[in-house]
Structures are given as structure tokens and as C-alpha cells.
């Protein structure tokens, strides 16, 4: 489960999304996120699913890699589904017992919310995590935030922090998995007992993990200081971002695709 975290996990490829300018991908991600949240009907949600499926095919990422990014949020999806089913009481009553009432409106809203979260995670994984390296993503955020330098916002330092954080997420996940296996071989239990017993078992993982993380941070700080790192002052890039006509063309194509779910209301006899 720990290795299924998609953040910071880049999948090598040569697809359209892999080669697209990372600044455009950040803008497209925001646009698709808004589109997913504005999809309020089942027809719009199905159209949004078709759009996300199109992005998956465009990225040429193996389906199993995309599904791996969904596994960590299955529990959250189930939780959101249950909460909406139990709290929303609109429409016809399907089943009622004591204080629990399940209605058609609550069931529809629960499915919509869970499916919306699923599409959001998949879209995030496809557009950003799996097709963009952490370094390119940080460069894109730094470039898009360049106007904030006028008001003395340390954009370069913030971008470097994000880049380092994304870079070390897979490392920390892998180290967590190793620590859990090592502690399990020593008798630690994570899946048995009550909540307090399980929490006590995870303490044996968190303590060495924090110690290791602080040690890595200290070593990284010493290495950056030894190389005379001074933030954004005089900073140059080995591969500067350059916007090409090909990027602009695909940007407009994907913008049109993003607005398709919102345009279904313009079609006749569709509500």
C-alpha cells in the first residue's frame, strides 16, 4: 500500500503529456479540477469520465500504474460514500431503520461525490504525478509564480522546497515500507488489536522514520551549503523551459476537451 502513493512517482514515457510543457500541464490541471467539481449531474460526470479516459489513453501509461494511484484513497472514497448516504435525506426512501434512512437523493449524491474524488485523483496522477518529473514541476511553478517576485515573494526558494519534497516522497515511502517489515520481523503488529494497540505499533515506525528524515535533511543542507547554494540569486537552469507552437496547439485542444462535460447542457433532451 505504501508503494502505491503516486505523488513524486514518475513513469518514463514519450507520450503527448510527457512532452508537454509543464507550465501548461499545471494550468490544465487546475482547469480539469474545476471541471470535475462543476460536474453536478450524472450525464456531466459520465462525460468527465470520458475526458479522463481520453487523458489516460493520451498519456500511454499502463492502466495498472494508474490504478495503483487510486488504491490509497479507497478508504476515503468509502468513508465519503457512507457519510453522504447517511446524512442526505432527499428523494424517495429506499430503506429505513431506527435513525438510519437511505434515500434516492442521498445514494445519488454519495455515488457522485465518491466518483468525483476518483476522477480527481486519476486526473492529478495522469497530468502531474506520472507524466512530470518533480524537477520540471518545480520549474513550472517557479515560472508561473515569477510575477510574485515583484512583491518580494521568495518564489525560487519555494519552488526548490517543493521540488525537494516531491523528490523525497518516494524515498520516504520506500523507507517506511522497509521499517515496517523490519519491525514486523521483531514482533510488531499493525493489523491486529484495537485502535490504541495499532497506534502503539505505528509508533515503532514513526520514530525511526522521523530520525531518518531529519538525518537526510541535515545531510542535504550540508551538501547544498558546500555547493554555495544561495536561493534564486544568479540561478541558471540546465534545461530552461521553452514554450513551442506544438505546446500551444495541444493546450487549446485539451482546453476544448476540458469544456466538453460542461457543454452537455447545450445538447437537446439532456438534463
| 64 shares a domain with 110 | yes
| 7 shares a domain with 40 | yes
Please indicate, yes or no, if residue 144 is contained in any of the structural domains. no
- Which position has the higher pLDDT, 196 or 243? 243
pLDDT by residue (tens digit) across 108-165? 888 888 888 888 888 888 888 888 887 888 888 888 888 887 888 888 788 778 778 7
Please indicate, yes or no, if residue 163 is contained in any of the structural domains. yes
| 105 shares a domain with 11 | yes
Please indicate, yes or no, if residue 76 is contained in any of the structural domains. yes
| 106 shares a domain with 6 | yes
Please indicate, yes or no, if residue 146 is contained in any of the structural domains. no
| 124 shares a domain with 81 | yes
Question: In the numeric block, which cell numbers belong to residue 67?
Answer: 490504478
Please indicate, yes or no, if residue 142 is contained in any of the structural domains. no
| 28 shares a domain with 94 | yes
- Would the pLDDT of 209 be above 60? yes
| 208 shares a domain with 99 | no
Question: In the numeric block, which cell numbers belong to residue 36?
Answer: 470535475
Parent domain of 260: 1-132+241-271
| 70 shares a domain with 20 | yes
Count of the separate structural domains present in the chain: 2
Q: Quick count: other Cβ atoms within 10 Å of Cβ 117?
A: 17
| 245 shares a domain with 220 | no
pLDDT by residue (tens digit) across 67-83? 887 777 788 888 888 88
Q: Residue 271 has what pLDDT?
A: 45
| 126 shares a domain with 161 | no
Please indicate, yes or no, if residue 147 is contained in any of the structural domains. no
| 38 shares a domain with 71 | yes
| 120 shares a domain with 7 | yes
- Would the pLDDT of 243 be above 80? yes
Mean pLDDT along residues 41-52: 87
Amino acid at each position: 500500500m505504501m508503494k502505491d502513493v503516486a505523488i513524486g512517482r514518475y513513469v518514463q514515457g514519450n507520450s503527448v503529456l510527457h512532452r508537454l510543457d509543464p507550465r501548461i500541464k499545471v494550468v490544465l490541471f487546475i482547469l480539469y479540477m474545476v471541471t470535475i467539481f462543476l460536474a453536478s449531474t450524472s450525464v456531466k460526470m459520465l462525460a468527465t469520465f470520458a475526458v479522463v479516459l481520453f487523458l489516460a489513453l493520451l498519456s500511454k501509461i499502463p492502466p495498472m500504474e494508474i490504478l495503483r494511484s487510486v488504491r490509497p484513497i479507497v478508504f476515503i472514497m468509502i468513508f465519503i460514500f457512507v457519510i453522504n448516504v447517511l446524512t442526505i435525506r432527499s428523494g424517495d426512501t429506499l430503506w429505513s431503520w431506527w435513525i438510519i434512512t437511505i434515500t434516492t437523493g442521498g445514494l445519488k449524491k454519495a455515488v457522485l461525490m465518491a466518483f468525483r474524488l476518483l476522477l480527481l485523483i486519476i486526473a492529478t496522477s495522469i497530468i502531474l504525478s506520472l507524466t512530470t518529473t518533480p524537477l520540471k514541476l518545480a520549474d513550472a511553478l517557479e515560472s508561473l509564480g515569477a510575477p510574485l517576485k515583484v512583491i518580494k515573494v521568495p518564489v525560487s526558494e519555494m519552488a526548490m522546497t517543493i521540488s525537494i519534497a516531491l523528490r523525497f516522497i518516494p524515498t520516504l515511502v520506500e523507507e517506511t515500507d522497509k521499517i515496517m517489515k523490519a519491525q514486523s520481523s521483531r514482533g510488531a503488529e499493525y493489523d491486529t488489536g484495537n485502535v490504541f494497540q495499532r497506534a502503539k505499533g505505528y509508533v515503532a515506525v514513526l520514530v525511526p522514520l522521523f530520525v531518518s528524515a531529519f538525518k537526510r535533511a541535515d545531510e542535504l543542507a550540508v551538501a547544498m551549503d558546500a555547493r554555495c547554494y544561495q536561493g534564486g540569486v544568479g540561478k541558471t537552469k540546465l534545461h530552461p523551459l521553452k514554450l513551442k507552437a506544438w505546446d500551444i496547439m495541444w493546450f487549446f485542444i485539451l482546453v476544448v476537451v476540458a469544456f466538453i462535460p460542461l457543454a452537455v447542457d447545450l445538447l437537446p433532451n439532456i438534463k
